[in-house]
Amino acid sequence: MLTQDAPCSTSPSIETAPPPLVVLCGPTAAGKTIVAKELVEAARELELVPPAKGLMTALSGDQWPDLVRTWLNSEPGDDPPKRPDVDRRTDLALLRDLEIHSGARVVESAVLPMLLPAANTALVIRLTATPMVRARRIQDLVPEVTFQQACAIVDRKDFATCVAARAAWGIDIAERSAPRWRADLSVGCPHEFECPDENGCVDAVVALVRGAYAVYQCFLTGETFREWEQSMLHFKGLLSTHQLFVGRCSPLLIGSCREHTVAQWRHRLLFELDATEGLL
């Protein structure tokens, strides 16, 4: 069971529709960039906020031999966090950018879901994959590294991301509970050791993310009941088809509540903290 039914609010509320904001989080090589691109492709109103240069982006470029060497030369934990002040400024600039721009946006960030207020109007999606599956993806980009080296890169990058978040903000993103319940949808490749069908897994994850986005939009824009119901039933169908890919889903995305307002979405965690968590 993924979720439990959300109680309905009894008081109607009026709030100006904020622009959609999709926040994609999750570890290196979990698929954030490809999902962001596919979502922007499907929902033309969305604009992609250029991410800080992530490991996967860097590995796709020309500098990867040096980059790989730096990740393999020492053990995880050898390096102190490099520039927490720079990380803080980067995150603050992103938050300000999201606040002052009125357009619909998609952003990739490991730490942003934990910096947003608990009552926010974003759609937070966490992408997941096991370290071994993520290591295989790195190997696909850099075939010269062995599987063991790719695993070491994943370990180091995960560790460095956690250290940076702790140094910049005092946030422990390795802690299991909070990052999960801050995500409205947690989806990813369900395979443990090796993904037998990367394209199929990406397609399933993208379909789920698109489906969730359609329902989320109904909350922001106050679509008619019929439009909301259609989106919600379509998304429920996707959840049923791809249930192995889903670790957590906000009850509001599949709830039977007749209201779908901005205020209800903003305060969704009031309904959701008891939602059942899955395995991802």
Among residues 51, 25, 56, 63, the alpha carbon closest in space to that of 150 is found at: 56
C-alpha distance across the termini of the chain, in Å: 13
Q: Which is nearer to Zn ion, 6 or 129 (CB)?
A: 129
Q: Which is nearer to Zn ion, 18 or 131 (CB)?
A: 131
Q: Which is nearer to Zn ion, 69 or 193 (CB)?
A: 193
Asked if 244 interacts with Zn ion (CB under 5 A), we say no
Minimum distance of Zn ion from residue 35's CB (angstroms): 14
> Which of 30, 59, 135, 201 contacts Zn ion by CB under 5 A?
201
Structure-block tokens of residue 31: 């698929």
Minimum distance of Zn ion from residue 163's CB (angstroms): 28
Subset of 1-40 contacting Zn ion (CB under 5 A): none
Q: Which is nearer to Zn ion, 175 or 192 (CB)?
A: 192
> Which of 110, 145, 154, 189 contacts Zn ion by CB under 5 A?
189
Q: Which is nearer to Zn ion, 20 or 26 (CB)?
A: 26
Minimum distance of Zn ion from residue 132's CB (angstroms): 11
**Phi, psi for 120 (deg, rounded to 5):** -130, 170
**Phi, psi for 134 (deg, rounded to 5):** -70, -35
- Among the listed ranges 73-81, 148-156, 187-195, 262-270, the one in contact with Zn ion (CB under 5 A) is 187-195
Among residues 275, 16, 24, 28, the alpha carbon closest in space to that of 137 is found at: 28
The answer to whether residues 215 and 174 touch, using CB atoms and an 8 Å cutoff, is no
Among residues 244, 235, 250, the alpha carbon closest in space to that of 189 is found at: 244
- Among the listed ranges 51-59, 67-75, 188-196, 267-275, the one in contact with Zn ion (CB under 5 A) is 188-196
> Which of 195, 207, 220, 253 contacts Zn ion by CB under 5 A?
195
Cα–Cα distance for residue pair 260/225, rounded to 1 Å: 8
Each residue 93-132 as x (binds Zn ion by CB under 5 A) or -, in order, gives ----------------------------------------
Minimum distance of Zn ion from residue 168's CB (angstroms): 32
Minimum distance of Zn ion from residue 59's CB (angstroms): 20
Among all chains, which residue has been given the structure tokens 């969704």?
268
- Among the listed ranges 40-48, 199-207, 260-268, 271-279, the one in contact with Zn ion (CB under 5 A) is 199-207
Q: Which is nearer to Zn ion, 107 or 195 (CB)?
A: 195
Subset of 167-186 contacting Zn ion (CB under 5 A): none
- Give one DSSP letter per residue of 220-263, joined into a string: HHT--HHHHHHHHHHHHHHHHHTGGGEEEE-HHHH---S---HH
Sign of CA dihedral 47, 53, 56, 62: positive
- Other beta carbons within 10 angstroms of residue 229's beta carbon come to 16
Cα–Cα distance for residue pair 184/198, rounded to 1 Å: 24
Minimum distance of Zn ion from residue 242's CB (angstroms): 11
Binding region for Zn ion (CB under 5 A): 189, 191, 195, 201
